[in-house]
Structure 1
């Protein structure tokens, strides 16, 4: 017995020693997160696993690590994991455990925002629509049914990551967990029930005993031990609600999402860097980029209302996983300097001096170590600032970092990273004329004749609580009698998003809600016949509401709006007629997109510009490893599949409106998503759609199937690859200028090289009145034929330029 006890004690000691070696203890004080007893700066970036593919994950995570990230953050998407109650999906791009293990394999930490409400411009904010099946259910409030379902799913996730030893205390990468999300922004209308709900959520999180801190973002009244955190474009002025909570920025918005009705939003690299530097200047120690890689809203169930299939977000890694330069490189340089300053920032004494005119000088002192920031928040005036007897030029709306309070190591407005100009290359194997199309119509007869339906009601039903988001489409069908043939006005009120109207088997009109208004009235003059008339209304959604107080109560579909026939002063109200309903389309039910049955596809007389047509073709995968896109120009609206994998909704016929200034971007001043830095005004909202390489088969035909809802032509479709076309950079005297092409590529020619007075920017450099006569040849010899090159900016290297007192620099643009 004594031997057994000794062996048992020995086992406990071995387990304890193993944990000492492998496990990570995470705590915090009012200054920073504390990891294994050390205060740390944590720089994180959001990568959403369902918005990419498992094959993409290692490369995305690697590029995040190379860019200076310590952690990868993601939401958990409830409706993707539990599309039907108690039926779970953790496969493919929903394999959460695999994603976290990829983070662990890369040697990074993970921040897991379980929520399980996500927002995230995600369908229904990540909450499953089947919750609406239960009478009395209210989302995100002190509602027992909702709390029970939320608790069940949240516990499922915590149990899964615990079983796989993924928590930091088990030797895993997860250092923070989040419960709820941005509730403080919307909780006011919930009153006391909202306050009780947030207390319950905090207590429930603690009860799971995960062993790592829990956070609540945008929740000023977050109960202890929750850490309340900040989301936004700028968070340097944020203060946690408890002196023992560190200052954490959960979402630094690196750009903005794109909607079908808006031009492409961009946030300049200089402004993102400014916001980060200001945050760390003001005692911040943990921040996360939202997004670091935005990705793609694959499938019908992702993407909130009127959000495009692309979720590029102007992130440091673009939709396809390419480096977005200079943003990626400029932030990488900033991260390196912040890490150099880490000890002083998390342990040093802090002092801040406001010198007026927008100038702040901040000093951290730790024993003999110092670190300084000089910020200039003026949006127009540059400044020269005296510090310790030295003068520093600080441009408007910028921050200078001095790791030793003497040497300028970085300024947020002085971008040294190269700029990449991306290019789309046509796949010469599959020119549009080489594609052979077949087709088949969506079988509409059963719907428009009002003979085949699923159920009836004597009222117009709300769409979400009828379909539970099993399809974008809901048919409303009824009939009415008229004593004479005549022309009447048909009026249909709807909460959108799209409506198609059929009268007596004929499509008489369509309409969609402009600018995401989600409510409109369809009106057309129609000719009704003597006797029975059949009216069929097809309502379509384009993603569901994802944000706001009581957002689940926002209706979709015709939803009790009036359906009327107007004859002068007389009105026939059909709203309370007997309505027949059918969810979805025949092609959806029969899974035309999988093409696994011997469906009859027609290979002649290709119809174009006709709605409700299914198209099919085959193509060869473009060679190489560059990301693949399909140019959908010429199509209307619908959904696309490659080898059965959904690429998401397409809508290239929707030309966005001019939102904000296009083609003119100034990084100076507070960024606003609705008025600053947009491109593509008046162009198709989204023309190119990502086909991940893992969706493709090499050396054999790939199948593309389209459901064209609105009416368009597939004849102009092209398959293209996305790669770096040109690279360029500028540098001042005494610096080194480095250019590089993607791995495996090389610089084929120098398009522009000037050492002297240079105007313009990448893609549009112009020479000034003076320059070195030798610079172009020197750069060509040093760079052409090489994957990367570095040039020392000096007259010894590049030759004299005789510019005198004129400000000058080296500028290069090269083709990869």
Structure 2
């Protein structure tokens, strides 16, 4: 049927209007020596990293909203190649890999975005985001000048760029993306690749390839201080970047990664970087003419699935970030930095246009004065970590605490000091699930893993008369690879089975029975298994199951680090070390994965036959699948499953992966668990580590269950694959909420705010209002020099409310109390 011309014109107009509705006005992005220049204006920008695969699409709007309310201008993320292209030319852009949706959420919030394509990203992520299948391509060398790698890298980079272009996500198209990154921290390893010429050619090729993409915004390269290609901005990563400057004088000073904490390994305690120290580092950066600063991480999130964590990295990627793993606001870090952002942004014009002058007031004391258009702003820093300093400026004397920066927007009055926290501290607690009594409320059934399939060497993918490397052999489709062989033996005899492996863990079976297991210490991926075994007369079968717990993600030539029983040797050692049998070059049959993985038992399909005997299930049984049904906890608070008492394995809720669990692995004792002081440089490695918690405790006990994984009005299913053997009936669901909230170090004139968060939880009592508190911490303050007037005021204003604000007045003063610092503690 013919369509009238008028109707056609109307359809064209409507289609154009619909296309324009989701896009903003085109934005120009340039730069000079002082700042990024957006629409002709120099800008101070504060950004934060939120990785889309480490949360769910349902969480993204709230995370982004909280970031904006925290004073951030931009959201930064890596792009995860192995998640988007798990197999060659088979792409995944769904669910938490829907990168376009993520950037549209940033745009909807009215924020900028930084697109860090890499596509090598490090990120404590399997292979640094590079797909393991790259190793199967002939002539492939990772991150060096060679056609196979550059072809695949350009193909993926172009794919991502085109997706962003098609969605109008670049600034010139009206989108949020103002910067893009190519490669990542290459300068850290260039000199260790044993081919300086190839490394230099590669990094220049990267820049040329990126610039040919014609995206209309600048390209950056972080940690590329030497051999910097033209037409890119090199940037800094680290705990401190104030003393770092770019290699050219015509580009701005950008801090791509300000590490807000540190990642955690299964055998390590929790790392904590104080709010005071982060604020000190940020203030120093802007004092030293910084222009853009990005927190890594602002929300760390969770390593869902098996490809999302580097070697021995826990499922939690909390990172001690301002937004915790579950998306809750971490106080006082969030609020203290928010106050800093507000002060810095109030000085934007003078910082990016002003003349600046540094004046030394002696060792470790510097005053920087910015002047512009008749106004001035000042920073005073004290880099001593053991003494407070008085500094006289403009006729006024200011006390600058050790390891702190004071900011005076008018060079007269201190608006912010990095060591003086004015926001509350929140202590988050795990509350029992009130919907059902646990663990009694969980209904369990079980299913054995079908190990018999792997107890002979008769069926497999292929055979080889050598012990092969695991990652390339199994193409990283599973954590597990079976090595199986057989031998004829005359008579009965006892031996010691000896296996040398570069894997992360190993299980040994002889004639269908588990005879031994072992795992490596973190970072020491060469270890041995020695187990006594008995052989019978005739044919004997030996099956070795090698396992990985994340793949290497950092360092020069990291992809060449083997895993599995690569080369062995594997031997049967006779009594007293004599009369052995070398099996290294026997005929080995290979198969990747477990039977339950092939059957996708985690999806709990109707045809699966789960077993139970009057509600009882076997416990302490390795290689077993367990299933429980449960009701979703009421409310909107974050949900976790407590797996204390389990061994090692993987968990799913309603078919969605929660990641690996390993609560039986105990965090090591380290000296840093017994001391914490914000003063002085924060470290995550080497001597002087401090502010650790969790030494001697399970490395990770609680595992995030996003609300999007749950079905509120119907039964939910928890599936566990228990590899090591344990008691799953101890599992229980919890919600995460503020328990105690405290405001410390409040001074006369301060507005003291207490809040239990946004989930309807109210303040039930005010427990402490005192001066001179010196014992305990938030949630366990013991008081000291109580103020009855303050207690009455906070009780009247706060009890029964989600949040309250009280002005600290002279009426609160405690008789005979020397301190003017008020501490308040309340219970949510």
Shared fold per TM-score greater than 0.5: yes
Q: Which stretch has the larger CA shift, 328-337 or 758-767?
A: 758-767
Note if 1:766 corresponds to 2:782.
yes
1:814 matched to which residue of 2?
826
Taking the TM superposition and a 5 Å limit, the aligned residue runs for 1:716-735 are: 716-730=730-744, 731-735=746-750
Give deviations 1:561-599, integer Å, cap 9, x for gaps. 200111223332111000001110000001111112411
1:569 matched to which residue of 2?
578
Distance in 2, matches of 1:517 and 1:195, equals 31
2:290 matched to which residue of 1?
284
Note if 1:802 corresponds to 2:815.
yes
Taking the TM superposition and a 5 Å limit, the aligned residue runs for 1:463-482 are: 463-482=470-489
Q: Which stretch has the larger CA shift, 682-691 or 566-575?
A: 566-575
Q: Which stretch has the larger CA shift, 166-175 or 759-768?
A: 759-768
Does the 8 A contact of 1:771 with 1:803 survive in 2?
Answer: no
Distance in 1, matches of 2:218 and 2:375, equals 30
Give the secondary-structure state (helix, strand or coil) at the position aligned to 1:767: coil
Distance in 2, matches of 1:20 and 1:409, equals 38
Taking the TM superposition and a 5 Å limit, the aligned residue runs for 1:20-31 are: 22-31=25-34
Does the 8 A contact of 1:341 with 1:403 survive in 2?
Answer: yes
- Could you tell me which runs of 5 or more consecutive residues in structure 2 were left unpaired when the two chains were aligned: 1-12
Q: Which stretch has the larger CA shift, 54-63 or 215-224?
A: 215-224
Does the 8 A contact of 2:259 with 2:296 survive in 1?
Answer: yes
Does the 8 A contact of 2:88 with 2:133 survive in 1?
Answer: yes
Give the secondary-structure state (helix, strand or coil) at the position aligned to 1:437: strand
Give the secondary-structure state (helix, strand or coil) at the position aligned to 2:728: coil
1:672 matched to which residue of 2?
683
Distance in 2, matches of 1:784 and 1:189, equals 61
Does the 8 A contact of 2:771 with 2:819 survive in 1?
Answer: no
Give the secondary-structure state (helix, strand or coil) at the position aligned to 2:477: coil
* Residue of structure 2 aligned with 1:461, choices 443, 452, 468: 468
Note if 1:218 corresponds to 2:230.
no
Note if 1:649 corresponds to 2:660.
yes
Does the 8 A contact of 2:773 with 2:823 survive in 1?
Answer: no
Note if 1:591 corresponds to 2:597.
no
How far 1:755 sits from its partner (Å)?
4.2
* Residue of structure 2 aligned with 1:402, choices 405, 408, 424: 408
1:5 matched to which residue of 2?
none
Note if 1:337 corresponds to 2:348.
no
How far 1:383 sits from its partner (Å)?
0.6
1:627 matched to which residue of 2?
638
Note if 1:95 corresponds to 2:98.
yes
Distance in 1, matches of 2:777 and 2:104, equals 42
Change beyond 3 A, Cα 1:593–1:803: same
Distance in 2, matches of 1:436 and 1:772, equals 51
Give the secondary-structure state (helix, strand or coil) at the position aligned to 2:315: coil
* Residue of structure 1 aligned with 2:69, choices 66, 71, 91: 66
Change beyond 3 A, Cα 1:376–1:486: same
Does the 8 A contact of 2:456 with 2:485 survive in 1?
Answer: no
Give the secondary-structure state (helix, strand or coil) at the position aligned to 1:710: coil
1:435 matched to which residue of 2?
442
Distance in 2, matches of 1:18 and 1:466, equals 50
Distance in 2, matches of 1:430 and 1:649, equals 26
Does the 8 A contact of 1:757 with 1:807 survive in 2?
Answer: no
2:256 matched to which residue of 1?
250
Does the 8 A contact of 2:26 with 2:173 survive in 1?
Answer: yes
Change beyond 3 A, Cα 1:634–1:759: closer
1:704 matched to which residue of 2?
718
* Residue of structure 1 aligned with 2:49, choices 46, 49, 56: 46
Distance in 1, matches of 2:548 and 2:288, equals 44
Give the secondary-structure state (helix, strand or coil) at the position aligned to 1:662: helix
How far 1:20 sits from its partner (Å)?
13
Give the secondary-structure state (helix, strand or coil) at the position aligned to 1:764: coil
Taking the TM superposition and a 5 Å limit, the aligned residue runs for 1:496-575 are: 496-567=503-574, 568-575=577-584
How far 1:354 sits from its partner (Å)?
1.7
Distance in 1, matches of 2:524 and 2:147, equals 33
Provide the alpha-carbon RMSD of the alignment.
1.8
Aligned residues: 800
Distance in 2, matches of 1:779 and 1:71, equals 36
Does the 8 A contact of 2:742 with 2:754 survive in 1?
Answer: yes
Taking the TM superposition and a 5 Å limit, the aligned residue runs for 1:681-760 are: 681-730=695-744, 731-743=746-758, 744-755=760-771, 759-760=775-776
Q: Which stretch has the larger CA shift, 524-533 or 316-325?
A: 524-533
Give deviations 1:257-293, integer Å, cap 9, x for gaps. 0100100111001000000000000000101000000
Give the secondary-structure state (helix, strand or coil) at the position aligned to 2:279: helix
Distance in 2, matches of 1:757 and 1:547, equals 45
Note if 1:118 corresponds to 2:121.
yes
Give the secondary-structure state (helix, strand or coil) at the position aligned to 2:220: strand
Give deviations 1:116-157, integer Å, cap 9, x for gaps. 011000011000001011122110000110000000000011
* Residue of structure 2 aligned with 1:781, choices 792, 796, 805: 796
How far 1:760 sits from its partner (Å)?
4.3
Distance in 2, matches of 1:171 and 1:546, equals 35
1:328 matched to which residue of 2?
334
Does the 8 A contact of 1:299 with 1:646 survive in 2?
Answer: yes
1:3 matched to which residue of 2?
none
1:7 matched to which residue of 2?
none
Taking the TM superposition and a 5 Å limit, the aligned residue runs for 1:153-172 are: 153-172=156-175
Distance in 2, matches of 1:508 and 1:176, equals 55
Give deviations 1:322-346, integer Å, cap 9, x for gaps. 0000000000000000001111100
Distance in 2, matches of 1:515 and 1:698, equals 39
Does the 8 A contact of 1:771 with 1:802 survive in 2?
Answer: no
Note if 1:85 corresponds to 2:78.
no
How far 1:516 sits from its partner (Å)?
2.9
Does the 8 A contact of 2:482 with 2:591 survive in 1?
Answer: yes
Normalising by the residue count of structure 1, what TM-score does the alignment of the two structures yield?
Answer: 0.96
Distance in 2, matches of 1:648 and 1:766, equals 40
Give deviations 1:614-643, integer Å, cap 9, x for gaps. 001111100000000000011111111111
Does the 8 A contact of 1:19 with 1:170 survive in 2?
Answer: no
1:181 matched to which residue of 2?
184
Regions of 4+ moved over 3 Å: 17-21, 755-761, 770-773
Does the 8 A contact of 1:640 with 1:649 survive in 2?
Answer: yes
- Could you tell me which runs of 5 or more consecutive residues in structure 1 were left unpaired when the two chains were aligned: 1-10
Does the 8 A contact of 1:375 with 1:400 survive in 2?
Answer: yes
Give the secondary-structure state (helix, strand or coil) at the position aligned to 1:521: strand
2:392 matched to which residue of 1?
386
Distance in 2, matches of 1:501 and 1:705, equals 25
Distance in 1, matches of 2:778 and 2:26, equals 48
Give deviations 1:343-388, integer Å, cap 9, x for gaps. 1100000111122231110010002111100000001011111111
How far 1:496 sits from its partner (Å)?
1.4
Give deviations 1:140-175, integer Å, cap 9, x for gaps. 000110000000000011111011111000100000
Distance in 2, matches of 1:219 and 1:298, equals 31
How far 1:522 sits from its partner (Å)?
0.7
Give the secondary-structure state (helix, strand or coil) at the position aligned to 2:605: coil
Does the 8 A contact of 1:401 with 1:410 survive in 2?
Answer: yes
Q: Which stretch has the larger CA shift, 786-795 or 599-608?
A: 786-795
Give deviations 1:32-76, integer Å, cap 9, x for gaps. 000000100010000000000000000000000000000000000
Give the secondary-structure state (helix, strand or coil) at the position aligned to 1:199: helix
Distance in 1, matches of 2:662 and 2:801, equals 41
Give deviations 1:643-695, integer Å, cap 9, x for gaps. 11000000011111113421531100000013121101011110000000000
Give deviations 1:183-209, integer Å, cap 9, x for gaps. 100111231110100000001111111
Distance in 2, matches of 1:660 and 1:691, equals 33
Give the secondary-structure state (helix, strand or coil) at the position aligned to 2:215: coil
Does the 8 A contact of 2:179 with 2:219 survive in 1?
Answer: yes
